[in-house]
Amino acid sequence: MRHEQGASLDPVDWDEFRAQAHGMLDDMCDYLQQIRSRPVWQAAPEQVRRDFLRPLPARGRPLDEVHQQFMEQILPYTVGNPHPGFFGWVHGAGTPVGMLAEMLAAGLNVNLGGRDQVPLEVERQVIRWMADLCGFPAHASGVFVTGSSMANLLAVLVARHACLGDEVRQQGVRDRHALVAYAASSAHGCIAQAMEMSGLGRAQLRVIPVDRRHRMDLAALDAAVAADRAAGRRPFLVVATAGTVDVGAVDDLTAVADAAQRHRLWMHVDGAYGALAMLAPALRPLLKGLERADSLACDLHKWGQVPYDAGLLLVRDGAAHLATFSSAEQYLRRDSRGMAANSPWPCDLGPDLSRGFRALKAWFTLQVHGADQLGRSIDGSCQLARYLAGRILVQPELELLAPVTLNIVCFRHRDSGPEVDQLNAAIVADVQQSGLAAPSATTVNGQLAIRCAIVNHRTRQADIETLLRAVLDSGARLLRQRC
Ligand SMILES: *Cc1c(COP(=O)(O)O)cnc(C)c1O
């Protein structure tokens, strides 16, 4: 396919381009329709890796040739999260609908930093849907970001501003502030990182132990806050988790909200994947108290199945959110009419100025599938997790390492000797390399666990059986080899 020789990057022959475009769409429909027939994951051959060392081409190549390279060298070598046998990490599977919405968004190529355009209303509508779902009030605000790592960082910044006021925007963080935050030991690593990046420092995050159900120990929280106050520091933030990344536990959000109220702390909930359990009526009671949070981080690209990336920050007090980030640069001046109207803009609610139309794929997904179907898929993955836990309990070679609250099952293969961690790490690598299923490894209570996170809407009971068989086969083989 030829492109114009001048400065324009449009095709010379649109009919030819159209035919190529349809072929590319067909290839991706085939990929998704036939995903079960592929290995979940396979390592890329050296030759393929080498091809990615080629220098920047001065002269272009035909589109069909580059697409062919994509099909042969990129498509087969992803981690495979759209595959129903992918259990490794809390990754969403995406959907065919989301894929199309991505194409439409790319075609429009809108910049969602702001201005008077309807795509902003799409983002606001999705934010409002999510705020309503989570029980946030009408004056709540929100913004799409890459993911919960970013949303958690922004939440720390909003909480910091709510505590220190505009002074922190002018003067930065002063030592004498000595702000202290609290999160359970099960909190995601991005919380400590947010403390680093916000200038508060990782040492200002108190790590609260968890109880047997892997939930924040509230008595320990009370004691930590009291000790900090007695030492003249300023407790300002508690971060609860709805759906921990290791075992899928949910902190007691009502108790955390009570503690936050008692101690006058900003309550942030990292609901990266778990907050969407609100879509499943049977799971909603687990999240009681979420509606009392001051802010919430939530990903639509995990349980929401929206293609990457689509994270959200919601803030109960929209004015506090705006006050943290809005600025008065002249080139961003607002007006009551013309394209500079329709303020505030998403660029007032976070650090991003140029922003893609992430909201569109979320809007399509929520509209086409509806809250009920998405909720059924979320509930379905929790049912499969309980099924897997049940199968493990009756399998003498296996043992469960953590209670199953949502969709994550941590277990291991038993071993009489001291090499049980090595055995289970080897099983995880074996099963991944088999291409049959993809669990991951984590550490639970100091023991290496095979971690199976069921997030994928395509996963069925048969896929769970395939995983179990692969684990048992690998375990038996490794134990045989040892003697
Ligand atoms: C995935 C996850 C994160 C990080 O979110 P990203 O979207 O990957 O940036 C944070 N917290 C929890 C509990 C998560 O599951």
| Contact 215 CB / ligand 1 (< 6 Å) | no
Whether the CB of 90 sits within 6 Å of ligand 1: yes
User: Tell me, what's the pLDDT at 4?
Assistant: 58
Q: What is the pLDDT of residues 288-309, one digit of tens each?
A: 999 999 999 999 999 999 999 9
- Dist. CA 423–CA 417, nearest whole Å: 10
For residue 240, give the DSSP letter: E
Residue 159 has a pLDDT of 98
Tokens of 169: 């925007």
Q: How far is Cα 429 from Cα 77, in angstroms, rounded to an integer?
A: 16
Q: What is the pLDDT of residues 66-92, one digit of tens each?
A: 999 999 999 999 999 999 999 999 999
The whole-number mean pLDDT for each consecutive block of 10 residues of the chain, a chain of 483 residues, reads: 74 96 98 97 96 95 97 97 96 98 98 95 98 98 98 98 95 87 98 97 97 96 97 97 96 98 98 98 97 98 98 98 90 86 93 97 98 98 98 97 96 92 97 98 95 98 98 96 82
In 41-55, which positions are buried (b, 16+ CB within 10 angstroms) versus exposed (e)?
A: beeeeeeeeeeeeee
Is 186 close to ligand 1, i.e. is its CB under 6 Å away?
no
- Where helices occur in 134-181 by DSSP H, the ranges are 148-164, 167-171
Binding site membership of 214 for ligand 1 (Cβ less than 6 Å): no
Atom of ligand 1 at shortest distance to CA of 273? 15
Give residue 298 CA to ligand 1 midpoint distance, Å: 8
Widest Cα–Cα separation across the chain: 79
Instruction: Give the rounded distance of the alpha carbon of 182 from its chain centre.
Output: 21
Number of continuous H segments (helices) and E segments (strands) in the chain: 14, 11
Instruction: Tell whether ligand 1 has an atom less than 6 A from the beta carbon of residue 304.
Output: no
Distances (CA, A) of 48 to 31, 44, 67, 275, 389: 20, 6, 15, 39, 39
Give this prediction's pTM.
0.96
Q: Is the CB of 405 under 6 A from ligand 1?
A: no
Count of CA atoms in the C-beta half-sphere (13 A) of 280: 22
pLDDT, tens digit, 9 for 90 and up, residues 337-392 = 989 889 899 999 999 999 999 999 999 999 999 999 999 999 999 999 999 999 99
Among protein residues, the one whose CA lies closest to atom 5 of ligand 1 = 148
| 245 CA distance to ligand 1 middle (Å) | 7
pLDDT for the residue numbered 6: 73
Pocket test of ligand 1: the residue of 154, 188, 210, 247 to mutate, having most ligand atoms within 8 Å of its CB, is: 188
Residue 245 beta carbon below 6 angstroms from any ligand 1 atom: yes
- At 319, the amino acid letter reads A
DSSP for 265-312, written as a single string? -EEEEE-TTGGGGGGSTTTGGGGTTGGG-SEEEEESSSTT-PPS--EE
Residues 103, 90: Cα–Cα separation, whole Å: 25
